Amino acid sequence: MRSSILTSALTHCVLVFITSVPLVNAEASEPTTADLPPVLLQMIRDDAVHKDLELTSDQKRSLFGVVKGIDAQWFPQLNLMTTGNTKPEPYQKTVADLTAKLQRELKSILNSSQFDRLMQLRRQALGTRMVLLDDVREGLELTSSQIQRFADAFAKTESESRRIAAKLKKQELEAGEAARQVAKLQQTERETVVGALTDTQRGRLGSLTGPAFDFSQVRRKLPFAPEIQDAGVTWIQGEPVRLADLRGKVVVVHFYAFQCINCIRNLPHYTAWYSDYADDDLVVLGIQRPETSAERDGDKVASAAKREGIRYPILLDLESSNWNAWGNRIWPSVYLIDKDGFLRRSWYGEMNWQGNEGEKDMRSTLEMLLAEDG
């Protein structure tokens, strides 16, 4: 299904924020660790966290080797979840399984002090939801009545967050107001959780969370970009590209179909980026994943690219090997990849749909990534 997805720059950010709220089953007697957001998967890739943990160069290399394998499984499911193409339960299971796997691997990479500190950071990042962790429940000696009170609070936050997201999608609510309502929900949840703890339990929180960490420093929360797949691929123009060979450059990858009107309206933006930032070593790559029979014809794809003035490399993804590796389900979609190969931003649908300023916002992110040290 082709998409003219809703997003303005602020709306996109707020939607990402809302959907990061853990998915709590309001009908369950109590939430579980499967309801937790993937904060450990997110934070483990960031330089600020590595600095706090005082990782060595060898530890970082080992860490990234593990992370790449995990990301190959995480990102397709994350993308499907973000675009509403999978149910919460499979995604929650994937996150829980990968988080457990990551923790096992980290125990062989980090020393005990580093691992303990990382667990403190995880608890900090979870905020009130840290009470879902078994070690926190045990450390605070939470009662069943407290746990039920937390479950009710989390379920209410989730229900209200979904309502806000639905109104935002229908444009019944402005992005700024949605953000304020979400912030109010979170504040209410914090007050409920803290108010339910005894003085003794509040006193124990410090040892569980450790010194405060400034999470505003964290830039990288998304996975490594999947490598370009070869199966069923025909390069329509330009030389074959591998993302691993492009470290030190910022990369734009966009999925499109040449007969898709939403895609056609985005193409001039990619061409402008390619032209405007050529001196900054920006790389743009188009992946044409066909929907119609005409879009499976390499000659027609090439003719359309020439007609649109596309000069950057394009591949025809006939067997959907790249489409599936990315968990992509929407035409058009565009992804921004930083100099170290991490995904930093995505946009689904027309960037300037109905007067939105998505291109301007994405361009701003591009300039930020180009300015960063590799």
pLDDT in tens, 67-85: 999 999 999 999 998 888 8
Inter-residue contact 344 to 15 (CB < 8 Å): no
pLDDT confidence bin for 299, thresholds 50/70/90: very high
Predicted pLDDT of residue 34? 57
Please say if the pLDDT value at position 17 is more than 90. no
Span 240-283, pLDDT tens digits: 999 999 999 999 999 999 999 999 999 999 999 999 998 898 99
Predicted pLDDT of residue 4? 31
Global pTM value: 0.85
Predicted pLDDT of residue 33? 60
Please say if the pLDDT value at position 175 is more than 90. no
Lowest mean pLDDT among 6-15, 49-58, 72-81, 335-344: 6-15
3-state SS string for the chain = CCCCCCCCHHHHHHHHHHHCCCCCCCCCCCCCHHHCCCHHHHHCCCHHHHHHHCCCHHHHHHHHHHHHHHHHHHHHHHHHHHCCCCCHHHHHHHHHHHHHHHHHHHHCCCCHHHHHHHHHHHHHHHHHHHHHCHHHHHHHCCCHHHHHHHHHHHHHHHHHHHHHHHHHHCCCCCHHHHHHHHHHHHHHHHHHHHHHCCHHHHHHHHHHHCCCCCHHHCCCCCCECCCCCCCCEEEEECCCCCHHHHCCCCEEEEEECCCCHHHHHHHHHHHHHHHHCHHHCCEEEEEECCCCCHHHCHHHHHHHHHHCCCCCCEEEECCCHHHHHCCCCCCCEEEEECCCCEEEEEEECCCCHHHCCHHHHHHHHHHHHHHCCC
Q: Which residues contact 193 (CB under 8 A, 6 or more apart)?
A: 128, 131, 150, 153
Predicted pLDDT of residue 30? 52
Predicted pLDDT of residue 18? 32
Give the pLDDT mean for 352-361. Answer: 87
Give the pLDDT mean for 138-153. Answer: 94
Calculate the CA 355 to chain-centre distance.
25
Q: What are phi and psi of 312, to 5 degrees?
A: -85, 165
Give the pLDDT mean for 232-245. Answer: 96
Alpha-carbon distance of 32 to 22, in angstroms, equals 10
The pair of structure tokens assigned to 131 is: 């009470």
Percent of the chain scored above 70 by pLDDT?
90
Percent of the chain scored above 90 by pLDDT?
78
Mean pLDDT of the chain: 89
Residue 364 or residue 8, greater confidence = 364
Alpha-carbon distance of 334 to 208, in angstroms, equals 40
Long-range contacts of 264-268 (CB under 8 A, 24+ apart): 264/308, 265/350, 265/352, 266/332, 266/334, 266/350, 266/351, 267/308, 267/310, 268/308
For the beta sheet containing 251-256, the strands, ordered from the edge strand earlier in sequence to the opposite edge, are 233-237, 314-317, 283-288, 251-256, 333-337, 343-348
Predicted pLDDT of residue 69? 95
Give the pLDDT mean for 171-182. Answer: 89
Going by C-alpha positions, the residue among 161, 146, 66, 165 that lies closest to residue 106 is: 66
Predicted pLDDT of residue 31? 54
pLDDT confidence bin for 32, thresholds 50/70/90: low
